[in-house]
Structure 1
Amino acid sequence: MERLGAFIKKHRLWLGGLCCALAAAFALCWAGYTLHQAGKNQSEYRIVHDEYVEKQGLYPTDPAAGLVQGLPAGEGETLYGVRLMFVTGGRVAQGAFRVALESADGQTLAACDGDMTMLLDGAFVDVIFASPVTLEKGSGYQLHVTFAPATAEDKAGLVYGEGGQADPAMPLADRLSSDWTLRTAALQYITNHTGAGYALRAFAPLAALAFAAVMGGWWLVFARRAKAHVCFAFFAAALGLAFALITPPLGGPDEYGHLASAYALANRLTGQPGITEGPEGESLLAMRECDAEYMRDSSGPVGILAYKTMTDELLSTGNSGALTATARVSPPYNVVALQYLPQALGILLARALGLGFHAMLLLARLGSVAVYAALGALAVRIAPARKNAFFAAGLLPMALSLAGSVSADTLVNGLALVFTALCLRGLLCAEQLGRAGQAGLLALAALIGPMKAIYLPLAALCLPIPVAALGGKKRSRAFKALVCLAALAGWLWFNGATVGYMLRSVDTYRIVYILVRLVPLAAAAALAWRRWGRRPWFKKAALAAAVALALALARGALWVAANSGETLTPEEYAASIQPNGESTYVYSFGYILSHIPQTIKLLVNTLGSELPRYLQGLVGTLPGEPIVYGLEASWLLTIALLALLAWACLQPVEAKPLLGWSARWTLGLAALAVTALSMMAALCWTPINLTTVFGMQGRYLLPVLPAALLVFSEGRTLCLRRPTDGALRFAAGALAAAVALQSLVLFASAAYKP
């Protein structure tokens, strides 16, 4: 036992690595088996003829001669097989059957042999050819169906429609009969088929990538003891690539709209038109012929066949770069074009190489992954302390899945990480923050708010930075004011229309009138304070005047609340209900002010019923677009990821608090302000008859998550006996890999087709 203990102690590093490798291999085997079970022999169908009388069957005069069903001319599509509806006379027939695809001159192109016992009376049966066939445009084809019954009582035929239910271009005939009645069999084309082994073949490279990500991270963290930013860059790049491959085409949150905006930016960079308005007010986008086929105005399909379509077309080359097609897309989002620059560069590269749609989408996603990995690694590197908070928040599966799709949130999340790290550096550094740091703060504050309106309060994170870090009291005040003004100016420039829409029912003219009248009063108060501010009698008078003014403003606000917003009659309310049960009237600031009890009830009910989903959306256990797909990973992973965030807040016993009370309050209030703005933005799109807020998702809080973790890191209720940085960083990567694997299984097993 002593030798065994000594051996374990000596080689515990490599034994731990072996245990991690075995655990990773077990997880991959489980995922591969589940994926294989969900994905084998899955087919996609297209109805060719669907007019028939149930169980009206045509039996061949001679089973060996069989029946012949004519097919329409080919259109260049690939045919994996057909679905035919058989009749067996109400019994289970014994024997064999054969369905052959023949050219017009009778040459066999593909065939399928089967057992007649699989033919259920009056049910469609999949007939899969040994190899797929491409139906050439303009060529004629036919299906030749023959039988080899075991006895004379074992008979089978095809269900058909005749007369007005038949198609003259698709005649069904008995090979030996002289009856020329027009008939057409019930028929569907199998346009895609996975077979028995496709899922495992497709899973093999993903499994290798996931295993390399986990074990490569283990080697960096424990064997090489690499720095935190190096480990983050590796995990973000490897797992971001995994999510880019796992997320089905147009399967990310609102990816169809973001891809259209990125595609439009790529067009404009090359002097081509972006999104234009069509004759009926629709949004049209010029694109390549190979892209227009897959571009859609809704989330893409999921399921194993969506992956097969992607892998079949991934290596397509030789596509023309001419923008000769037009697709209807979502209206352009009101965002800064810079948000889509990484994806647009990937799109342009794919066009230059002549790659198809799926390779173009992958390159756009890889551009997003590269930028996010670089920004996240930069944030972890420049953070002077509490690196685990940035590491854990940046490696959440939600952040990685957004980076692995075409999304406007990728750049926002990365820039917010860097901005928070810079502010923390200014708070904690013992010397002056350099010009590069100050320029970075100014530029990031000017970008984050415009990129998404709800993140404007993040600019306040620079306010607690001590004056010594910014070069003195006067320079500090000027710099902070400049940062806030830059953020506010950019925010108003890019979000003015949205703010105007939210204030559409508020009497803004009267509010502006009151505010204008307050400007001279404020100027006079400032001058008086400058002259008599140090005298006790003036301080008492100023306090009394401030209280009186506050009461007057409160009375004015109550008056505005009572006289703003829509007041609907029962008839107007009833007329506003759409077929889906939602009202055409939505919440606005005016409606909220005049219906405060209703709004409070809505918010309380939302938090009570939707908070678990918000937590899942924050950490990333709701794969894809949750509103559309409704997929949900294991709650064990959700709990583990929440525990990881709590772990990132824990500090060793000997560690001392780093942030003062002003800094803690600023960080906490900024996080709460962004949360409130997120809820308010979602509320202003919520129909007034819903019982919960529509459209709010936990992923909107990712940019303020590091700030919230920094606040919780100052607590000392729970402490660590020793540092556990390496274990936490490896756990963050391993949990993200686990969520990626389960997301793959969920996507492949789901059934959604727009």
Structure 2
Amino acid sequence: MKNRKRWIGLVLVCLMLAVTDWFFWQEYGEKGTKSTQALFCNGPITGEYTSLEVGNPLEFSGEIVGKANGIAASFGTYENLGRGSLQATIKDAQGKVLEKNTLQYENLKDNEFTLLFPNSKLSFETPQQVIVTLHPLTQEGPFGIALHQQGGQLVLDFIEKVTGPFIIVCVLSNLAVVAGYLFAFVWPVPLHILFLIVAAPLVLLYSFLFPPQEIPDESYHFYASYAKSNRLLGLDETSLQEGIHYVRQEDTGFPIAGPPFGERYNKTLQQLGHRDGTTDVISIPMPDGNRIISYVLPTLFITLARLLKLNAMTLYYAARMGNILFFLLLGSLSIWAAPVRKSIFFILGLWPMVLHLSGSVSYDVAMFSLGFFIAAWWLRLVCVPETAPPISWKQWAVFSIAMMLLAPCKVYIVVALLVLAVPTSRFASKKYAWGAKIALGVGAIAFWILSTGQNAENYLTNSNTENYVLTDLLKAPSDLLQLLFNTLYRDKDKLVFTMTGNHFAWFTLRTSTLLAAAFLVLLLIASVWEKDELIYKITNQQKIVLAMIFILTTGGIVYAALCWTGVDESYILGIQGRYLIPVMPLAALLLQNKIYVTQKNTDRALCYSGVILELFVAMEIFQVAIAS
């Protein structure tokens, strides 16, 4: 009977997906994406509205590029004035008619895009000079249009179908939902395996939804990995100046821009997987990058792509694949390592911001993946029966290596304080306990200094006198309090939702705050311990250490942002909630209590709820992208 109910549940899930996909296609996929371009009027423009009269056409010219399944135009019209028909014609520079269409005045939408050429199949690989003519054929009463900006600008939209991208979005999101249900309830697998099953298609989906260099600072980290790839390939750069590196010329052409980027989905599909890359290189300024662990896998994948002569788009996604594998491996290991509250790590791994960054070349991936793993491994060290053997050198070595790898990343060296939350009683002796803790602390500090070098010193003695430095804050602490208040008042929502995720790309692509808040609620629910798990108590002393790490991390993030803030600013620049993600497991563990507990295990239902939410987040991201 129980299995029958589970199969019925699967049928209901599939029906939900069918309805959702159908609605999604009707509402967004069928309409396609738009590439906005502008033409300018060839005649004089006077007043807010320009009259259209029979025998007096308006002519616009300019360059357009792209492939269309229809071309629309946007202009304002007099409301309820004028009746008649309008002929729209598009010609090339030689006067050859490329498209012609007749439409009624009443069908022109005020301040919206109106299809001038609904069946257009024009395709221009390179910018081509064209002329668009609006020619009234019949007319009753006055009719006028308001053109955009000075000089009479006619805004055109090339409408391009997104069938291929739509299929990818549906297949990957639906795969995560269906496979998640099957392996969560019908054929249950351990949670760390379930995470791999659902997170893999979701992070690949996010990687597709955000074209190259649409993630903040991704360009920096891509080229830092690229510079390290040169060393693996044995390219002699000794004759080049410092900061100058070799790169294939085709690998420099990725645009850095925010939405609209819906039209780039088709281009991504067209270019992926081709082996038409070259080995010819040019020299350009590129960062070296100093955070070793953050660039290992992207560097290896870039090197492999260059050896296989894969084209630029494929090489870029190869670099992303390195981060994706690192995220999936550490995410799964974190869930496996945690003896309790595995759902905390599962839910955090499904946060939209986490998947958004994990599908990129951003080095934030290494930070939160290591942060999750360290928190899970700490639980593994301390949440054990009283009869458990002492911590072995292998267990401590794993903890130490992960801690040292995280230390050079931003301000997260403070996470090394977690050693203070490991009871001395868990070691074979007090002498061994303090020796192990001191060795880990010294190793983390040494690795931080060696890896960051001058960068760490710059935060203490910033040579840019136009920005805040430590001495400024010590002299006028009231100014710091005022800055903090102004920042919290101005960006309170942004600070929260850049953590869970609804400010994507360069913070220009925004999705529902309700969905972002739902992921925060899921984390709060996941932080409620089961009754049987309370045999492992996090002591008050341990909670003090966890709270101290969270507070110091927050303070470090604020101070680092202050170093980038001009002394004439009234609020702190650059603070983002995503910088708290690496320590969010520790914050969630602070909520352990004996009052709010669950009587039975609800981890699978909770984790699957996160997968369902991701379905709607991904679809909304796609919708916003193609509508931009």
Q: Identify the TM-score tier after normalising by the shorter chain.
A: 0.7 to 0.9
User: Does residue 420 of structure 2 align to residue 463 of structure 1?
Assistant: yes
Amino acid at match of 2:436: F
Question: Does the 8 Å contact 1:264/1:285 carry over to 2?
Answer: yes
Q: Given the alignment, which residue of 565, 575, 583 partners 1:704?
A: 583
CA distance in 2, matches of 1:731, 1:84: 42
Amino acid at match of 1:465: V
Which residue in 1 is equivalent to 2:101?
114
Question: Does the 8 Å contact 1:372/1:410 carry over to 2?
Answer: yes
Which residue in 2 is equivalent to 1:258?
221
Amino acid at match of 1:635: T
Q: Deviations over 1:198-253 (max 9, x none)?
A: 13442122111101101101111111111011011122212111111111321112
CA shift at 1:111, angstroms?
Answer: 2.6
User: Does residue 359 of structure 2 align to residue 478 of structure 1?
Assistant: no
Amino acid at match of 1:740: A
Amino acid at match of 2:393: R
Q: Given the alignment, which residue of 533, 540, 548 partners 1:661?
A: 540
Q: Given the alignment, which residue of 117, 121, 131 partners 1:131?
A: 121
Question: Does the 8 Å contact 2:221/2:289 carry over to 1?
Answer: no
- Judging changes above 3 Å, is the alpha-carbon distance between structure 1 residues 215 and 247 closer, same or farther for their aligned structure 2 residues? same
- Judging changes above 3 Å, is the alpha-carbon distance between structure 1 residues 54 and 353 closer, same or farther for their aligned structure 2 residues? farther
Q: Given the alignment, which residue of 607, 622, 625 partners 2:488?
A: 607
Which residue in 1 is equivalent to 2:144?
none
Q: Given the alignment, which residue of 732, 737, 742 partners 2:610?
A: 732
Q: Deviations over 1:696-735 (max 9, x none)?
A: 11111111111121221x2122111322111112122222
Q: Deviations over 1:350-407 (max 9, x none)?
A: 3344433333222222221111101111111122222122222222221111101110
- Judging changes above 3 Å, is the alpha-carbon distance between structure 1 residues 70 and 637 closer, same or farther for their aligned structure 2 residues? closer
Structure 1 gaps of 5+ residues are 1-6, 154-158, 160-184, 507-565, 567-583
Which residue in 1 is equivalent to 2:272?
314
- Judging changes above 3 Å, is the alpha-carbon distance between structure 1 residues 340 and 472 closer, same or farther for their aligned structure 2 residues? same
Which residue in 1 is equivalent to 2:11?
18
CA shift at 1:58, angstroms?
Answer: 14
CA distance in 2, matches of 1:276, 1:51: 53
The DSSP-based 3-state class of the residue aligned with 2:280 is coil
Amino acid at match of 1:691: S
Which residue in 1 is equivalent to 2:348?
393
- Judging changes above 3 Å, is the alpha-carbon distance between structure 1 residues 432 and 25 closer, same or farther for their aligned structure 2 residues? farther
Amino acid at match of 1:446: M
Q: Given the alignment, which residue of 225, 249, 260 partners 1:302?
A: 260
CA shift at 1:646, angstroms?
Answer: 0.9
CA distance in 2, matches of 1:367, 1:113: 49
- Judging changes above 3 Å, is the alpha-carbon distance between structure 1 residues 587 and 238 closer, same or farther for their aligned structure 2 residues? same
Question: Does the 8 Å contact 1:274/1:285 carry over to 2?
Answer: yes
- Judging changes above 3 Å, is the alpha-carbon distance between structure 1 residues 701 and 335 closer, same or farther for their aligned structure 2 residues? farther
Which residue in 2 is equivalent to 1:194?
159
Which residue in 1 is equivalent to 2:78?
none
- Judging changes above 3 Å, is the alpha-carbon distance between structure 1 residues 647 and 25 closer, same or farther for their aligned structure 2 residues? farther
CA shift at 1:186, angstroms?
Answer: 9.6
Q: Given the alignment, which residue of 14, 20, 37 partners 1:45?
A: 37
Question: Does the 8 Å contact 1:82/1:188 carry over to 2?
Answer: no
CA distance in 2, matches of 1:743, 1:609: 25
CA shift at 1:93, angstroms?
Answer: 6.2
Question: Does the 8 Å contact 1:502/1:684 carry over to 2?
Answer: yes
CA distance in 1, matches of 2:275, 2:205: 23
- Judging changes above 3 Å, is the alpha-carbon distance between structure 1 residues 274 and 653 closer, same or farther for their aligned structure 2 residues? farther
CA distance in 2, matches of 1:667, 1:469: 18
Amino acid at match of 2:438: A
Amino acid at match of 2:327: Y
- Judging changes above 3 Å, is the alpha-carbon distance between structure 1 residues 301 and 97 closer, same or farther for their aligned structure 2 residues? closer
User: Does residue 235 of structure 2 align to residue 242 of structure 1?
Assistant: no
User: Does residue 327 of structure 2 align to residue 372 of structure 1?
Assistant: yes
CA distance in 2, matches of 1:386, 1:84: 55
CA distance in 2, matches of 1:692, 1:372: 34
Q: Counterparts in 2 of 1:383-532, with a 5 A limit?
A: 383-429=338-384, 430-450=388-408, 452-467=409-424, 469-504=426-461
- Judging changes above 3 Å, is the alpha-carbon distance between structure 1 residues 665 and 94 closer, same or farther for their aligned structure 2 residues? closer
Question: Does the 8 Å contact 2:66/2:158 carry over to 1?
Answer: no
The DSSP-based 3-state class of the residue aligned with 2:100 is strand
Question: Does the 8 Å contact 2:86/2:104 carry over to 1?
Answer: yes
Matched residue pairs, number?
Answer: 606
CA distance in 1, matches of 2:273, 2:54: 45
Amino acid at match of 1:216: A
CA shift at 1:620, angstroms?
Answer: 1.5
Question: Does the 8 Å contact 1:94/1:116 carry over to 2?
Answer: yes
Question: Does the 8 Å contact 1:42/1:194 carry over to 2?
Answer: yes
Amino acid at match of 1:226: V
- Judging changes above 3 Å, is the alpha-carbon distance between structure 1 residues 288 and 128 closer, same or farther for their aligned structure 2 residues? farther
Which residue in 2 is equivalent to 1:530?
none
CA distance in 1, matches of 2:306, 2:624: 32
- Judging changes above 3 Å, is the alpha-carbon distance between structure 1 residues 707 and 112 closer, same or farther for their aligned structure 2 residues? same
Which residue in 2 is equivalent to 1:683?
562
Pick the structure with greater CA Rg.
Answer: 1
CA shift at 1:672, angstroms?
Answer: 1.8
CA shift at 1:274, angstroms?
Answer: 7.8
CA shift at 1:338, angstroms?
Answer: 2.9
Question: Does the 8 Å contact 2:404/2:444 carry over to 1?
Answer: yes
Question: Does the 8 Å contact 1:92/1:117 carry over to 2?
Answer: yes
CA distance in 1, matches of 2:396, 2:263: 51
Which residue in 1 is equivalent to 2:467?
586
CA distance in 2, matches of 1:187, 1:638: 39
The DSSP-based 3-state class of the residue aligned with 1:587 is coil
The DSSP-based 3-state class of the residue aligned with 1:600 is helix
Q: Counterparts in 2 of 1:539-550, with a 5 A limit?
A: none
CA distance in 1, matches of 2:278, 2:23: 42
The DSSP-based 3-state class of the residue aligned with 1:719 is coil
- Judging changes above 3 Å, is the alpha-carbon distance between structure 1 residues 354 and 735 closer, same or farther for their aligned structure 2 residues? same
Q: Counterparts in 2 of 1:221-370, with a 5 A limit?
A: 221-272=184-235, 286-296=246-256, 299-314=257-272, 316-324=274-282, 326=284, 332=287, 335-370=290-325
Q: Deviations over 1:257-310 (max 9, x none)?
A: 2222222222332233789998xx9x66543232222254xx454332233443
CA distance in 1, matches of 2:397, 2:601: 34
Structure 2 gaps of 5+ residues are 76-80, 142-146
CA shift at 1:143, angstroms?
Answer: 7.1
CA shift at 1:613, angstroms?
Answer: 1.9
The DSSP-based 3-state class of the residue aligned with 1:431 is coil
CA shift at 1:608, angstroms?
Answer: 4.0
The DSSP-based 3-state class of the residue aligned with 2:235 is coil
Question: Does the 8 Å contact 1:667/1:711 carry over to 2?
Answer: yes
Question: Does the 8 Å contact 2:321/2:359 carry over to 1?
Answer: yes
CA distance in 2, matches of 1:475, 1:222: 45
The DSSP-based 3-state class of the residue aligned with 1:249 is coil
CA distance in 2, matches of 1:633, 1:142: 37
The DSSP-based 3-state class of the residue aligned with 1:406 is coil
- Judging changes above 3 Å, is the alpha-carbon distance between structure 1 residues 697 and 333 closer, same or farther for their aligned structure 2 residues? farther
CA distance in 1, matches of 2:505, 2:377: 31
CA shift at 1:11, angstroms?
Answer: 2.8
TM-score by length of 2: 0.83
- Judging changes above 3 Å, is the alpha-carbon distance between structure 1 residues 238 and 632 closer, same or farther for their aligned structure 2 residues? same
CA shift at 1:481, angstroms?
Answer: 0.4
CA distance in 2, matches of 1:594, 1:337: 37
Which residue in 2 is equivalent to 1:511?
none
Question: Does the 8 Å contact 1:247/1:624 carry over to 2?
Answer: yes
